[in-house]
A and B are shown apart, each in its own frame.
Chain A
Amino acid sequence: EDKVVQSPLSLVVHEGDTVTLNCSYEVTNFRSLLWYKQEKKAPTFLFMLTSSGIEKKSGRLSSILDKKELFSILNITATQTGDSAVYLCAALLMDTGRRALTFGSGTRLQVQP
């Protein structure tokens, strides 16, 4: 059974801290790992990682994938209150006739002023 596990489940930090969110996966026919941010309702896309060891960066957020150890991390530096959200990772699998995203249960990040 395909599985994506995120840790920690929740995290409380202060503004300015750096956080690392973890995502491990066991997915057959793995293609890519995606990160989403969900603030209230609609998750919004952050990154898609397909190649191992290549960091993707967007402002204070960065992410990297390790396809050998089957995990990804999302780093947020100099956190701000606006970073408070649930961060979801999802593994994209693709094979003949099938394509699916399996999501983890998310990490709830709360950034305090």
Chain B
Amino acid sequence: KAGVTQTPRYLIKTRGQQVTLSCSPISGHRSVSWYQQTPGQGLQFLFEYFSETQRNKGNFPGRFSGRQFSNSRSEMNVSTLELGDSALYLCASRPEWRESANTGELFFGEGSRLTVL
């Protein structure tokens, strides 16, 4: 079974531009989460999607947005890029979203490393 696939793996942008990152979850997984990882802040939760609906959202400005398609693939977008947005953006999937689900295991992709100049 293929793992979580993220594209692009690396990209360089300049301040003010916008970027779109893509994530294909493991086949059969319907929940996709996005995380930002920086050396100073560690792994920070951006948002989680299930069945094309955003279920949870972290404390990031509105410049960060996402969506999920009917095939569970997800994209996240960052508009008006700032230098501080330089980070590794990790996508993670898991089989289902249910409040009562007692499994927290996430399956991570290799990430998209964004550099903002």
Interfacial residues, chain A to chain B (CB-CB below 8 A): 31-32, 34, 36, 40-45, 48, 50, 88, 90, 92, 94, 96-106
Contact = CB atoms under 8 A, between A and B. Distances in A.
B102 A34 contact: no
Interface in B58-108: 58, 88, 90, 97, 99, 102-108
Interface of B: 3-4, 33, 35, 41-45, 48, 55-56, 58, 88, 90, 97, 99, 102-111
B42 A31 contact: no
A34 B99 contact: no
Q: Is the interface of A mostly helix, strand, loop or mixed?
A: strand
A34 B55 CA distance: 21
A74 to B, nearest CB: 16
B105 A48 contact: yes
Contacts of A44: 108
A50 B58 CA distance: 23
B42 A105 contact: yes
A98 B42 contact: no
A100 B56 contact: yes
Residue among B3, B97, B111 with the highest chain A CB neighbour number at 10 A: B111
A101 B102 contact: no
Contacts of B42: 88, 103-106
Contact of A103 (B3, B44, B97): B44
A93 B44 CA distance: 14
Contact of A92 (B41, B88, B104, B110): B104
Nearest to A43: B108
Nearest to B105: A45
